Structure 1
């Protein structure tokens, strides 16, 4: 288990300062409920619009970045190696998936589809779009049943929700602890993310949980599920995200190796364990985004400048542009202060 990262009191603010106002303008009226967090070597700030600071948002696929941290930590602890396969950790007899390595899963290079045909992804997508239902309520046993029959494609860069679901539960198996407990002990507690959790069912939601929307459809069903948690089921507050970014930027803990890019991933990106890195306006930025039934999210880090931004919106829409524009604004202000 990692040591506590000893995060300082960040002096978080809830007022709409200049950058919070900039975020609101970047997101526009289509995102009436959102939260943002930013961090520089000099300060940290959080802000929410039309929600309480204690409100928790779905992080969606940013959860994969957290699972990537667990992978890097398991490597450093000797619980796994880069050559450890799914079959060594999960019950996958006579399945081609058993030979897939955890390393390939961490970089989306396993040959697994986003979802296998046996999970009826088109039907799930239709049920979500028409009725706002949660498409991801599978248990770990359900997940393994699908994995036993899935057909592998050619190993190449291909984003796979299913792959990260299996990766997270394989890491939990290696640690001999359920995934929801693993992330609490190895990420949430060390990073002081007291409001972060991964609900298994809707009944596990805290009273602080926001419900998201898609278009004009309000109160979309939350995307919860035991099997789904490592790929997209984590929720957190904006203060959690501030502490999380501080931990990612402040130290040299072994789990941070997940952020180091090791392979090309297309569109100018390179990938580490889940995390993507690209060059934007001459700066190397590490990032991950997410989108679920009712939420959009993004984290962008400039590791060399120790600057980061996170935005979460209670609306299902891509907010990547706002995230990259905001960090450019923040880096510009930081550079102006230094000069």
Structure 2
């Protein structure tokens, strides 16, 4: 994951950092979050996130056991350490999403068929439906 960074202050952002946009189409100042950076301050690329998703599926990344369901939630949902697992259309979808000012992300996994979807956006919109739809299409061979 050579293209991923965790900038702690604005000066740490690369000069070509993308601009984020709010729901009204206005440019957003990038959040760097300082000490809270692990809660949403990672800057990454589709290639790096694809590598991360593959490592999660392979169990090759430290902490991949966090994907294991630990607690029952509502309905057919369970929760791992920082991951949600929902039964959708017969598929156990393991997912985590996030957003900061002007940016959003979603990573969804179907561990049974070893499929993953990563959706990144430079707008503050929910990506859950898009990512889950793409993952279910892959799981059902569509």
Is it true that 1:222 corresponds to 2:22 in the alignment? Answer: no
- The 3 A distance-change label for structure 1 pair 308 and 230 is same
Q: Which residue in 1 is equivalent to 2:101?
A: 293
Is it true that 1:240 corresponds to 2:25 in the alignment? Answer: no
- Give a deviation string over 1:245-285, Cα, whole Å, max 9, x none: 11001236662111001012335421111011110110111
**1:94-133 maps to which residues of 2 (within 5 A)?**
none
- Mean Cα deviation higher: 304-313 or 208-217: 208-217
Q: Which residue in 1 is equivalent to 2:2?
A: 194
RMSD over aligned CA atoms reads: 1.7
Q: Which residue in 1 is equivalent to 2:118?
A: 310
As a proportion of its length, which structure holds more helix?
1
Is it true that 1:275 corresponds to 2:83 in the alignment? Answer: yes
Q: Which of the residues 204, 207, 210 maps onto 2:18?
A: 210
For structure 2, list consecutive stretches of 5 or more residues without a partner in the other structure.
none
TM-score (norm 1): 0.40
Moved over 4 A (4+): none
- The 3 A distance-change label for structure 1 pair 274 and 302 is same
Is it true that 1:264 corresponds to 2:76 in the alignment? Answer: no
| Equivalences, count | 142
Deviation at 1:219, TM superposition (A): 2.3
SS for the counterpart of 1:236 is coil
As a proportion of its length, which structure holds more strand?
2
Task: Return the structure number with greater relative CO, CA threshold 8 A, min gap 6.
Answer: 1
Deviation at 1:290, TM superposition (A): 1.0
- Give a deviation string over 1:135-189, Cα, whole Å, max 9, x none: xxxxxxxxxxxxxxxxxxxxxxxxxxxxxxxxxxxxxxxxxxxxxxxxxxxxxxx
SS for the counterpart of 1:248 is helix
